[in-house]
Every structure is written in structure tokens, then in C-alpha cells.
Amino acid sequence: MKKKVAVYKVSFFIVLLVALVTALYLGAYDFNHSVFEIVSTYFNTNTHTADSFVLIELRIPRILMAILTGAALAISGTSLQGLFKNPLASPDLIGITSGAVLFAALTIVFGSAVMHLLPAFFRYVLLSVMAFIGALLTMWFVYKMATSNGKTHILILLLSGVAITALTGAVTGFLTYISTEEELRNITFWSLGSLAGSNWWKVCLVFIVVLIGSIRLLSKGKILNALMLGEKEAAHLGFDIEKTKREIIIIVSLMVGCVVAFNGTIGFVGLVVPYILRFVFNSNYNILLPLSMLLGAVVMLIADTISRTIVVPAELPIGILTAIMGAPVFISILINYKRKLK
């Protein structure tokens, strides 16, 4: 098994490197020199050209953001599925994403009234903070609705997610209706998802959040495996179940909220990636968690590369692509469940 896991890790890493190099060269703008020459000239002579601007300031930050976003959404979805012991649990299906989008929309529409009162730094992070609060509150509500006497009911969890998604979607729709033309464009950006606004500051912030969150989630493999036996059995093995639940919920909310704040709604990644890996490794979370990060990064990078090259010089919102990729997988999950019920 260890050799098999190592082979998959190396394979995913190689595919990620190939996708990264390919993404550097693909886009609406064609470089006049090789990427190595552009980077070497930029750092050795500090010469700023159109090639260096597109590569250093636009394309590389966007590629790094795609990798971080894919890794964050995939490990978040895997962790939630382990926590709730159900492959249907993912940030977008149980309402975390819609809650983050709602609070982002509230900030876009009403934030201008208080923006001038805030220091420059808080103006920059306000949207991310509000999206995180929205994700956290949504996750807390869904979790409370689905938990009774210390036991989480999966059916109630999913139904609560559907209900909160419908409610937040309605409020977001109302905000769209009363918004100005500029606010409408911003809200539409969050609704469809795009990595076009990536820059080095955003990449650094997301990197810090994803790094800290991923380190904590990667350490939860053993307890998530124990939870497959049941909460009482896991508690008898010495694990603090309630503490683990709170920690996973907070970390996932932080990561998803941060990603949504900068990139908008990007669905199905947290659902599709763990499902694919389970065909090979079943539900061993010591293996699923790290591999989901690699595969999530690969999927997101490929999807973003397609989104910015398929309709050049325009750009297809990445949320549309991930939905097209993820919907058939979601349907296949439901078909498999239907077969098991017979």
C-alpha cells in the first residue's frame, strides 16, 4: 500500500508540474521569449517589459492561486466527508460556499458606507473577513441543526444545507436586484467564480491560510478513520470528538471563506476529488487527505487553464467549468446510492 500511495503522489506531482509549465505558456498573450529568459532578465537587469508584466504580475500569481484554491477546496471537502461520514458532504452542498458569497455580497453592496472609516489594511481584508464569517455562521447553523444529543444526522445535515443555500441564494438575489451597475458586476464575479483578480498579495494571504489549515487537517487522518467506526468507538480510543468537530469546522470555514472571498463560487471540487480517490483507497483518510490536495490542485489548475484559453480573448468563468465537471460525478454518486438501496 505504501508503494502504491507513493506512486500516486509522484504521479500527481508530475502531472501538476506539467500542467504548471503548460499553463505558463498558454493564454491570450503570446510571449516573445521563453519563460526562463523573461524571469532571468527581469531579476538580473530589473527590466520591465510587457512579457515580464504578464508573466510575473498576472500569470504566475493566477497559477499559484489555482493550485492553492484546488488544494484548499479538496482537503476541505475530504475532511467534511470524513467528519460527517458521508461522501455527499462538501462545502458547496452543505451551504458553506453560499454563506460566504452572501456575506461577500453584503460587503460589496453596503461596505462602501463604512469603508472610508477603516484603515487601509482593513479595507483590503474586509471582504475576506466577512466571507469567512459567512462561511462560519452557515456551517455552525447547519451543524447545530443536524446534531442532537451529540449525534450528527446526515439527512438533516444535507437538508439543512439545501435550505440555507436556498435562503442565502434568495438574499443574494435581492442584493443583486438593488445593487448599482458596478456592484452588480462584482456580485456576478462572486457568483460565477474567477481567478482573474489574483495578485501576489492575495496569493500570500491565501497561502498562509491554506498552509496553516492544511497542516492541522492533515493531522486528523487517524481520528477521521476512527470516526468511521462511530463516535462512541472513536471516543473509547481516546480521541476528543467534539474538539475535533469544532476544529475541523472552523478550519474548513476559514479556508473556504478565504478562497471564496478572492475567487468567488467554485463548486464541486471538494466533492469530486475525494470521490475519485475513494475508488482506489476507499476511506483511509491518512491517504486521502494529502492526495486530495495534490489532485485538487491539478484539477483546479487544468480547469483554470481551460477557462482562460477556450474562448480567447474572453474568459469562461471557472465556476461554470467545475460545475460541468462535477455535476456528472454527483449524479453518478446518487446512482450508486440508488443501487445500494435495492
Domain ranges of the chain: 2-341
Of residues 58, 60, 52, the one with CA closest to residue 34: 52
Residues 77 and 90: beta-carbon distance below 8 Å? yes
Q: Give the span between the Cα atoms of 196 and 173, in whole angstroms.
A: 23
**Overall residue count recorded for the chain in this entry:** 342
Whether a cis peptide bond, with omega within 30° of 0, leads into 313 is yes
**Tens digits of per-residue pLDDT, 71-100?**
999 999 999 888 888 777 778 777 888 888
pLDDT tens digit sequence for 123-175: 667 777 888 788 888 888 887 887 777 666 767 877 888 889 899 989 988 98
Q: Does domain 2-341 have CATH number 1.20.1250.20?
A: no
Q: What is the pLDDT of residues 225-234, one digit of tens each?
A: 998 888 788 8
pTM as predicted: 0.86
Taking only the tens place, the pLDDT of each residue in 209-224 is 999 999 999 999 999 9
Packing angle between helix 181-192 and helix 154-178, nearest 10 degrees? 160
